[in-house]
Structure 1
């Protein structure tokens, strides 16, 4: 598979607001990050209510006005445990709060970060529709929704004359391709574009087996609710890391670049459908390396075939996404 032209490359900001990390401590670095984005053809930032301090940092930096960058954000959705979470009035007031915090008149995509389970769907969608009619966002997005729930939400929205979802953000990489079989047919049928998060499998594809097994990383069972341990620390996946490293060596590129370029140029994603990729970084140099990688074009045919063989070896143990790993163990 090879896409027609480069898909959208979006910069994730999940760590921009933390006060004790690189981005949180230096506004000058964030300004340089915005400049790097424009230099390399990326114009959008992805944030969320769940990303501690990220919306506030982007708003304080006037990212959407002074730097003319498009912004996407997310309601907590199924992650929200407030008593009135996801009610009609709550969805509208929550959207207004994000817009005020981000210091913009509207965002491009406003996502539901995870399936809403504690409120009738019609009520949540009514509030979302109110926010759309108020001009707070241009497009509705979904994230971490199973295919059946995507269809159900779409049908409820359509039957009630509400704004329809047109973007989906989900877990996808060279070793996380389950959505190809069940989710993508639904998205294509409904005209919903796809934005891939975790294109390097949460960093798994940049590691060695020894690094993973030595512990002390996000892949340890006691880190981050065990999400990444459950998704990737499996025999077939650990065995695949050595093969992944060999492919990168033969291509004379980093393991991270191999992962990014596969998603951008050889996956099921297509520019014609408005698909994209969102990535995070911990430094300016890492951000620029990723932006450059996404612009370097397709991999060799030999590399693509070898990556396909890796998927064949791991697919039977593949999980789905972060949300379903937490709440259903899949």
Structure 2
């Protein structure tokens, strides 16, 4: 597993990162969740991404417990704040909320500092300067090493970059956004803006909620045990007016399989390798509910995708991918 510098921060992140959304905090049994986190670490993953909201704090507890037996300087923990946690209605990015949620996350993780603290969404109800000043204070206190954000628009990012420069505040190290072969919205402006300002990019949902594994078929019910077959998780398959299980998308995805076969890769491996070829991408966040999925995904690191394959992939998804 190779490592890349995350923006202009001191953090070096592995090609692949392990994410905990939907699975680690309730999607699978606790012992298996811990096993998955540890398998990812032992496979070379050094960045573990979670959030205070996941499982009302349970994901943070599991990640902290799973990694506690390893040397602290061998792994990085990223967490987030914005949404309510459990029964607590408090949310947003106010100074008070940042202080409260940061301390709560440190307690659940049982850590003295968090490597990457991220704004889970943009808070239009709190002055941006208040948010950025509070995050700067968290870094200066030693409780946070680097800061990032998730799913901010280009305009919001530019406003933050400008204010940080004017007020000499801690710069953002990372942007975490959804990005995959069939979800190309970051290419419109966000990737270039981040690269120009030294902000690393963390890609989440690289397999489009499982669609890019090829397991879902047009006109067919989702296979038993899949995310789409789980009533609790199925609501996450809808995104921005495009349904990841629509026939027109699944028919296009099916055409990608021969490309993967010709490259000696699984669909998942090809999809991860496609993202790793983007120079703007610092790390690709994948999830897993079984250790064997992790071993399969790790094989994407270093996989070669020739220009002919990249051209063929783009041609297939041109009319079905979400571009903006």
TM-score under structure 1 normalisation?
0.80
Distance 1:212 1:146, change over 3 A: farther
> Is 1:227 aligned with 2:238?
yes
Ranges of 4+ aligned residues in structure 1 off by more than 6 Å: 78-81
Report the 3-state secondary structure (helix = DSSP H, G, I; strand = E; otherwise coil) of the residue aligned with 1:42: coil
Q: Report the Cα distance in structure 1 between the residues aligned to 2:98 and 2:80, rounded to whole angstroms.
A: 11
- 1:79 CA drift (Å): 9.3
Equivalent of residue 247 in structure 1, options 242, 259, 264: 259
Q: Report the Cα distance in structure 2 between the residues aligned to 1:162 and 1:36, rounded to whole angstroms.
A: 34
Moved more, 102-111 or 124-133: 124-133
Q: Report the Cα distance in structure 1 between the residues aligned to 2:212 and 2:40, rounded to whole angstroms.
A: 24
* Maintained 8 Å contact 1:64/1:103: no
Q: In angstroms, what is the RMSD of aligned CA positions?
A: 3.2
* Maintained 8 Å contact 2:164/2:171: yes
TM-score under structure 2 normalisation?
0.81
Q: Report the Cα distance in structure 1 between the residues aligned to 2:139 and 2:185, rounded to whole angstroms.
A: 31
Distance 1:62 1:185, change over 3 A: closer
> Is 1:73 aligned with 2:76?
no
Distance 1:174 1:267, change over 3 A: farther
* Maintained 8 Å contact 1:209/1:241: no
Equivalent of residue 315 in structure 2, options 309, 312, 316: 309
Q: Report the Cα distance in structure 1 between the residues aligned to 2:126 and 2:196, rounded to whole angstroms.
A: 27
- 1:162 CA drift (Å): 2.3
Report the 3-state secondary structure (helix = DSSP H, G, I; strand = E; otherwise coil) of the residue aligned with 2:38: helix
* Maintained 8 Å contact 1:172/1:179: yes
Structure 2: gaps of 5 or more residues: 5-12
Structure 1: gaps of 5 or more residues: 321-330
Q: Report the Cα distance in structure 2 between the residues aligned to 1:312 and 1:287, rounded to whole angstroms.
A: 29
- 1:310 CA drift (Å): 2.0
* Maintained 8 Å contact 2:47/2:76: yes
Q: Which residue is equivalent to 1:323?
A: none
Q: Which residue is equivalent to 2:10?
A: none
Q: Report the Cα distance in structure 2 between the residues aligned to 1:303 and 1:172, rounded to whole angstroms.
A: 19
